[in-house]
Structure 1
Amino acid sequence: MDACVFDLDGVLVDSEPVWEEVRRAFVADHGGTWQPDTQSRLMGMNTSEWAAYLRELGVRMEPDEIARGVVAQMAARYRDEVPLMPGAVAAVRRLSDAGTLGLASSSPRQLIDVVLDAAGLTECFAATVSTEEVPRGKPAPDGYLEAARRLGVDPRGCVAVEDSSNGLRSAHAAGMRVIAVPHPRYPPAPDALALAWRVVPALDALTPESLTWVKSPD
């Protein structure tokens, strides 16, 4: 294995319930209508994509205004408390002691930096990517490919750690082997989960020994 690339939301941070609460309230407060499949559709979208989608739900604002409003509310919530997933800090530190780590997240850069700083994990990652910084969000592979480029490694020599359907599809499309850590409240679709090389119940199962035999194709 050349590197391990983590997702953030739903893997290291239990943020999906917070995102849903904040965006659902924002839509309701600004004249829109939340749909039954809205949360699953939003997972993995980059900022410009989900802001445009909320406008399609009837929010009477421009996408850049929507994005600023939602991200400001998320940052305020994180300043009160970052809801880290069980075992997140230990897993990152355990793997960073053994090899190179990257991060490819759909969160805005502002929130990535707030979370990693609050968790004391900033120095554990050799490269971090927000899908704001690439043309397309997940399920497109752009974020994972950019993470591999910044790390200076072949994506085929990387393992990705993901939880969502769009995240699993994104990492797989980038050519990475994907470890799925399904979120109990937002489990991935069966077809997306089938793309995983390995499925683990929690971050405690991630150890250097469990990843060392993965090699790039010849």
Structure 2
Amino acid sequence: MPVQAIVFDLDGVLIDSEPMWEEVRRAYVADRGGRWLPDTQERLMGMSTNEWADYLATDLIDGVTAEQVAYEVIDQMLQRYEEELPLLPGAEDAVRRMADYRPLGLASSSPRALIELVLGKLGVAGLFRATVSTEEVDRGKPEPDGYLAVAAQLGVSGGDCVAIEDSANGIRSAHAAGMTVIAIPRPAHPPAPDALALAAHVADGLDEVTPDLVAVIHN
């Protein structure tokens, strides 16, 4: 059956947000006398809001609640996005190109407020028929919950979708949901080789994401 929907990730695919997330959360931990561990950033990638806030409050900082961490960090991210949205090259064109081809969904580890702000500022909010934040499902990436929720909202199965991802946890999540995955690795945080091997195609950038490519890799 031909592909029925295209599902984008947000962070690392449409916006180069991971450096900003790392900067904000590192500073937050440091300002509260916490400790940033060598594997912290890798562990955080793909976590839902509840998961990363609990991790910071439990493992890295003393004397704060997960709810406080989530509220304060997300507020800082909203301010940063309002000042400057770190769009990746070809983001808007890719969304519009693929929306002309198939229905679009979005599965993101970002909280709902950030998803809506980014898609609004990008001017493409109306092109997505379904958007899911992993804070709205039981488990974040690498579990498939977010991608399965998007597919359900679109009225298709995971196997009918092509997902565009950048991180190891994101690739694993989409693949576990049965989706064909196009990986666009970010040089600063390259996916683990075993995760990258799950992708049907590894692209250098969003310009490669075209209907012709999707038709070739989805079977």
TM range (shorter): over 0.9
Report % sequence identity. Answer: 61
Alignment of 1:31-70 (within 5 A): 31-55=33-57, 56-70=59-73
Which residue identity lines up with residue 168 of structure 2 in the other structure?
A: S
Structure 1 equivalent of residue 22 of structure 2: 20
Which residue identity lines up with residue 8 of structure 2 in the other structure?
A: F
Aligned: 1:71 with 2:45: no
Other structure's SS at 1:104 match: strand
2:32 to 5, 30, 33: 30
Aligned: 1:95 with 2:98: yes
Q: What 5-or-longer segments of structure 2 have no aligned partner?
A: none
Which residue identity lines up with residue 6 of structure 1 in the other structure?
A: F
Task: Give 1:214 shift.
Answer: 5.2
Structure 2 equivalent of residue 84 of structure 1: 87
Task: Give 1:30 shift.
Answer: 1.1
Structure 2 equivalent of residue 174 of structure 1: 177
Alignment of 1:51-200 (within 5 A): 51-55=53-57, 56-200=59-203
Task: Give 1:60 shift.
Answer: 2.4
CA RMSD of aligned residues (A): 1.0
Q: What 5-or-longer segments of structure 1 have no aligned partner?
A: none
Structure 2 equivalent of residue 206 of structure 1: 209
Which residue identity lines up with residue 109 of structure 1 in the other structure?
A: R
Task: Give 1:58 shift.
Answer: 2.1
Q: Report Cα offsets for 1:121-179 as digits up to 9, x if no partner.
A: 10111100000110000000000000000000111010110000100110010010111
Name the CA distance, whole Å, in 2 between partners of 1:197 and 1:71: 33
Other structure's SS at 1:137 match: coil
Q: Which runs of 4+ in 1 moved over 2 A?
A: 212-216
Task: Give 1:81 shift.
Answer: 1.2
Name the CA distance, whole Å, in 2 between partners of 1:119 and 1:206: 18
Name the CA distance, whole Å, in 2 between partners of 1:28 and 1:38: 13
Aligned residue pair count = 216
Q: Is the 8 A contact 1:32 1:60 kept in 2?
A: no
Question: What TM-score results when the alignment is normalised by the length of structure 2?
Answer: 0.96
Other structure's SS at 2:6 match: strand
Cα distance change, pair 59–110 in 1 and its aligned pair in 2 (3 A): farther
Name the CA distance, whole Å, in 1 between partners of 2:127 and 2:167: 23
Name the CA distance, whole Å, in 2 between partners of 1:60 and 1:73: 20
Which residue identity lines up with residue 89 of structure 2 in the other structure?
A: P
